[in-house]
Amino acid sequence: MTSCRRRLGRWLLPEKMAAVDIDMPVEPESQIRSQDDLDRQAEIFKEQGNAYYSKKDYPAAFNYYTKAIDASPKTASYYGNRAATLMMLCRFREALEDSQQAVRLDDGFMKGHLREGKCHLSLGNAMAAARCFQKVLELEPSNKEAQQEKKNATTLLEYERMADFSFDKRDFRKVVYCMDRAIALAPTCQRFKILKAECLALLGRYPEAQSVASDILRMDATNADALYVRGLCLYYEDCIDKAVQFFVQALRMAPDHEKARLACRNAKALKAKKEEGNQVFKNCSYDAAYQLYTEALAIDPNNIKTNAKLYCNRATAGAKLKKFDQAIDDCTKAIKLDDTYIKAYLRRAQCYMDTELYEEAVRDYEKVYQTEKTSEHKQLLKTAQMELKKSKRKDYYKVLGVGKNATEDEIKKAYRKRALMHHPDRHSSATAEVQKEEEKKFKEVGEAFTILSDPKKKMRYDSGHDLEDDGCFDGGDFDANNIFRAFFGGRGGGFSFDSSPDSQPGNFFFQFG
């Protein structure tokens, strides 16, 4: 029995010891061996990562550097290597985190500070970048790369300063110039891209602005700034309803986005005021329409396309109110905002016609016809050209002081008045110069009456024919003396007018019986 127990004990003892071994703590030597194994494995992963990095297979290099970090999370160089890989993959925010972790683990890790600075610079954080490059120079004063990058950070700060100053001065072209150069130094800075896009929109370069905003939204569909710029482009292209949708979406993403809030308010106000003006114009309330368009123009001076339409609308209302000079000025402002706005050219041309500025009218109609060769525009141009031709002849209506729609009786009354007014006998005591001028006017009055009192000649004159070219005044067909005598019937005797080349001023005389 005892021997049995001894045999049983010999068999049981290992089991008891094994049970004790399971509960016993691991010896320090085994821990060291385990960490050494992990460190060796981490080095292997790092070397594999280096090999893939050399082959420019950055995704594979990233995976191996990550494995190295997992195996040895307190080794600064592994974070530094992964940061370098992330930079090659243009994942600068993640690279920045790894660089910062590397220098936290080892403040003397020069490459870690250098990479952190490069990440800050690429992301547009110029001041932070400058501090990192300064740290590198403290560790290694002769580091040329750090010296150059520090200069780049200083240059970037200067471009930012210039852009802010130019934006406040509304010099948006200068802002775009500065941002182009800033983006070359900080290619992943969305803030610079957004500012550039906003200024492009303010300059009316909508396709370029939309392209920049769309690129950002493809990477981040919730970017409130990009949504705002996209809406701004639509707003400035007079697509106000769609613009409001983008502004509202931007405000959902960022409720405190002040620019989106202001643009949304302006868009709604502008649309309401313009529609109100259009409605009262249709109701023939031209004064009210003129005032409403004026109020709409004050809402947002930056909205070029909508304001061009508002100026043209106000010009139309002004023309209805016979404010032709103001209407012409409004059309000119509309064209200055949008030189492709055909409606503004047409409206201004009509105002020029109404004010008998035919050369200007022809110029505008020519511009329109060159752009849109329609039969209607061709006819408008022909009409203006005809009126221009007619304006270069003597204006017999002006000579008699009557309108172009004057009746036969009005023409006769006007001739009677003007003929007696300019009759040389009334100016016989005046100077020779005055007598000569009155003689000339007396003859013109006779010419005007000859044409406008004859239906056929008047019709040809009104249609633009040059009657002097037709031989109506060849010396034998017209005589101011005959016209005057015929009109007044030779009352009280006779009246003669010497129109020979040798006649002297004032050679007119009455004969009384």
Tell me: do 242 and 319 sit in the same domain.
no
State yes or no: pLDDT of 475 exceeds 60.
Answer: no
Place of tokens 């613009």: 243
Tell me: do 308 and 382 sit in the same domain.
yes
Other C-beta atoms closer than 10 Å to the C-beta of 298 total: 10
Tell me: do 195 and 306 sit in the same domain.
no
Q: What is the arithmetic mean of pLDDT over 32-49?
A: 87
Per-residue pLDDT band for 6 (boundaries 50, 70, 90) equals very low
Q: pLDDT (tens digit, 9 = 90+) per residue, 121-166? A: 999 999 999 999 999 999 999 999 999 999 999 999 999 999 999 9
- How far apart CA 83 and CA 362 sit, in angstroms, is 68
Question: Phi then psi for 154, rounded to 5 degrees?
Answer: -65, -40
How many structural domains does the chain have? 4
Tell me: do 376 and 409 sit in the same domain.
no
Q: With respect to residue 283, please indicate whether it lies within any of the assigned structural domains.
A: yes
Burial of 469 (0-12, 13-18, 19+ CB in 10 A): exposed
Q: With respect to residue 487, please indicate whether it lies within any of the assigned structural domains.
A: no
What value does the mean pLDDT of the chain take? 86
* Spatial contact of 165 and 159, defined as CB atoms under 8 Å apart: no
Tell me: do 378 and 304 sit in the same domain.
yes
CATH code where residue 374 lies: 1.25.40.10
Tell me: do 356 and 407 sit in the same domain.
no
Q: With respect to residue 183, please indicate whether it lies within any of the assigned structural domains.
A: no
Write down the pLDDT at residue 492.
37
Write down the pLDDT at residue 490.
56
Q: What is the arithmetic mean of pLDDT over 85-94?
A: 96
Domain boundary among 326, 358, 392: 392
Q: What is the arithmetic mean of pLDDT over 389-394?
A: 82
Q: With respect to residue 57, please indicate whether it lies within any of the assigned structural domains.
A: no
Write down the pLDDT at residue 116.
97
- How far apart CA 220 and CA 294 sit, in angstroms, is 40
Tell me: do 401 and 384 sit in the same domain.
no
Q: What is the arithmetic mean of pLDDT over 321-335?
A: 96
Q: With respect to residue 513, please indicate whether it lies within any of the assigned structural domains.
A: no
* Domain containing residue 103: 74-160
Q: In Å, how far from its chain's centre is CA 177?
A: 16
Q: With respect to residue 508, please indicate whether it lies within any of the assigned structural domains.
A: no
Question: pTM of this prediction?
Answer: 0.63
Write down the pLDDT at residue 354.
95
Which residue has better confidence, 420 or 107? 107
Whole-angstrom CA distances from 362 to 116, 349, 359, 385, 388 are 66, 7, 5, 6, 8
* Spatial contact of 446 and 478, defined as CB atoms under 8 Å apart: yes
Write down the pLDDT at residue 127.
97
Which residue has better confidence, 423 or 495? 423
State yes or no: pLDDT of 469 exceeds 80.
Answer: no
Tell me the pairing of strands 493-497 and 508-512.
antiparallel
Question: Phi then psi for 508, rounded to 5 degrees?
Answer: -125, 140
Write down the pLDDT at residue 471.
55
Q: pLDDT (tens digit, 9 = 90+) per residue, 246-303? A: 999 999 999 999 999 999 999 999 999 999 999 999 999 999 999 999 999 999 988 8
Tell me: do 409 and 388 sit in the same domain.
no
Q: pLDDT (tens digit, 9 = 90+) per residue, 169-197? A: 999 999 999 999 999 999 999 999 999 99
Tell me: do 384 and 436 sit in the same domain.
no
Write down the pLDDT at residue 218.
92
Tell me: do 351 and 432 sit in the same domain.
no
Lowest mean pLDDT among 37-41, 288-292, 342-346: 37-41
Which residue has better confidence, 44 or 17? 44
Lowest mean pLDDT among 92-96, 341-345, 360-364, 488-492: 488-492
Write down the pLDDT at residue 496.
44
Write down the pLDDT at residue 470.
56
Q: With respect to residue 106, please indicate whether it lies within any of the assigned structural domains.
A: yes
* Spatial contact of 293 and 309, defined as CB atoms under 8 Å apart: no
Tell me: do 299 and 336 sit in the same domain.
yes
Residue 486: helix, strand or coil by DSSP? helix
Per-residue pLDDT band for 506 (boundaries 50, 70, 90) equals very low
Q: Could you please report the per-residue DSSP string of 441-495?
A: HHHHHHHHHHHHTSHHHHHHHHTT--TTTTTTTSSSS--HHHHHHHHHTTTTEEE
Q: With respect to residue 262, please indicate whether it lies within any of the assigned structural domains.
A: no
Tell me: do 153 and 210 sit in the same domain.
no
Domain boundary among 430, 450, 466: 466
CATH code where residue 407 lies: 1.10.287.110
**150: its two tokens:** 């520090």
Whole-angstrom CA distances from 495 to 40, 258, 440, 506, 510 are 134, 87, 17, 13, 5
Domain boundary among 377, 392, 407: 392
